[in-house]
Structures are given as C-alpha cells and as structure tokens.
Amino acid sequence: MKKILTSLLLLVLVFSLLGCAPSTTDDKTIRVGASPTPHAQILNVIKDDLAALGYTLEIVEFTDYVLPNTALDAGDLDANYFQHRPYLNKFNAEKGTKLSFVLAIHFEPLGLYPGKESSLDGITKGGASVAIPNDPTNEARALRLLADLGYITIAAGKEELATPLDIVNNPYNISFVEVESALLTTLLQDVDFAIINGNYALSANIASTVLTTESKESLSAQTFANGLVVKEGKENDPKTLALIQVLNSAKVKQFIVDSYTPTVLSVLD
C-alpha cells in the first residue's frame, strides 16, 4: 500500500512540475494584434523573417481600437500594431493600462479625395463643400492640410485642435461637412471633396484617386505614425526585440512604398 501511495505521489509531483513548466510552443509563438489594413498585411511580410529567428508569428485581427489594447494589457497578446502615440497615451491615461510604444512604422496621411469635383480647381473656383472627420484629432489634421495648401488660414495657437470655428480666413468660401471618419468614403457622391484617412481609403479601394495628402515631413507625420506597442517592462523582451529587428528593415520599408504610396508612408529609418 505504501508503494502504491508513493507512486501516486510521484506521479502527482511530475504532472505538477509539467504543468508549471513553460510551453516551448508558446514561448516561440509571437501573437500580435493588428487592424486588417495595412497593419496585418505588413505583418504578413515578416513571417519568414521571424521564422528564421525561431519564432512563429500569429496575427490576430481586430476591427476596433479598444480590444487590441485590453487584450495586450491582459497578456493575451505579445504586442499590437494599429495605433499612434497620442491615441495610446490617451488610452493609458483613461483606462489605467501600462503600454509602451516601441517602434514607429508607418504614417497614414489624410488625403483630399474627389467627390463631385474631380480636380483641385474645384476649390479655387469657390464654394466647394468638403467633408472632414468629426473627431478632434483628425478634424484638426484635415484643416491643417487645407491650411498647408493655402486654402484657409487657422487662428494662431489653434492649430493642434482646430475646428471650422477657428478659421480666420476662408477666401474660397469652403463649406465643411463634419462626419465620422469611417463614413467619409460613403459621402463622396454628395460633396465636392472629402478628406479621408488612408486606411479607410484603402478599404474602399479609392486610394488611387487621391489628389493630395499630408506630407511625410509634416507635423502630423511626426506625431501620428502608427507603430508597435508592448506592455511596459517588455520593451527588451526577446520577442519584442525580434519584432523590432524584422520590422525595422529595408524589406518592410520597400513593401510599404510599393504597396501603399501615397496613402500609407513608411517612417522606418
């Protein structure tokens, strides 16, 4: 009886130890949450490069901007790739998460797209209607784009969060239609122009029609580049370093240039 009990105890101990041991598969699998376009497409480019380093990349696609961060914070992901620093900073402050931006990869410039008018002459002839995003960040970016093109002037000191109320000079009598970003592509038949985020333009297959965009050297490009995010404390984790190594490459940069210009611009070194 003692021998049987001893054997049973040994089996329990072995299974307990096995249960506590880290999974080799999990340790070599990197799970990254991403928006479908262009983020997940860009991540697909690095699968073979990570495999050469001994890792399997699992891409988990999200269509919202909350779950990728909550999943990362909960430890269900090793990283995510869908957001820019201002959004991350606001999310951390509001949700109490501790997530860290570790690599800027690409910039999705706002673009001016034709609606009922087919060229920029439609603005300078006067009275054009322009649909713009209605969220504070992208609305200000849209107005700055028009200001950079010389079509309007924004009051000094109001550029960061400008609204149409902050326009002090509108010589071409542009009228503004404020709309949720995701709906802008559906209004092109109703307005003369629309200023649309690059990812929505790609999803709607209108990227090739863009008339002009924010430049890579703009303040917006420096501020709103999308990049790789991990949990605080994981910045130097082997998985993080592997992701940074393969993403910050000439191969990825060239893929972005070849696949998305001018609606997505690489900001990699």
Q: What is the pLDDT of residues 58-92, one digit of tens each?
A: 999 998 999 999 999 999 999 999 999 989 998 99
9 in a domain, yes or no?
no
Same domain as 201, residue 123: yes
3 in a domain, yes or no?
no
**Position 153 confidence tier, pLDDT thresholds 50, 70, 90:** very high
CA 245/CA 238 separation, integer angstroms: 10
Predicted pLDDT at 8 = 41
96 in a domain, yes or no?
yes
Same domain as 254, residue 203: no
Same domain as 118, residue 104: no
- pTM, to two decimals: 0.75
Predicted pLDDT at 161 = 86
Same domain as 28, residue 42: yes
Same domain as 125, residue 76: no
Candidate from 52-61, 111-120, 203-212 with smallest mean pLDDT: 203-212
Predicted pLDDT at 26 = 65
The count of domains in the chain is 2
Residue 175: pLDDT over 90: yes
Six-digit token string for 132: 């713009």
Predicted pLDDT at 19 = 42
Q: Which domain holds residue 204?
A: 111-214
Predicted pLDDT at 18 = 38
Predicted pLDDT at 160 = 83
Exposed e or buried b for every residue in 19-51, given b needs 16+ CB within 10 A? eeeeeeeeeeebbbbbbebbbbbbbebbeebbe
Residue 113: pLDDT over 70: yes
Asked if 138 and 110 touch (Cβ cutoff 8 Å), the reply is yes
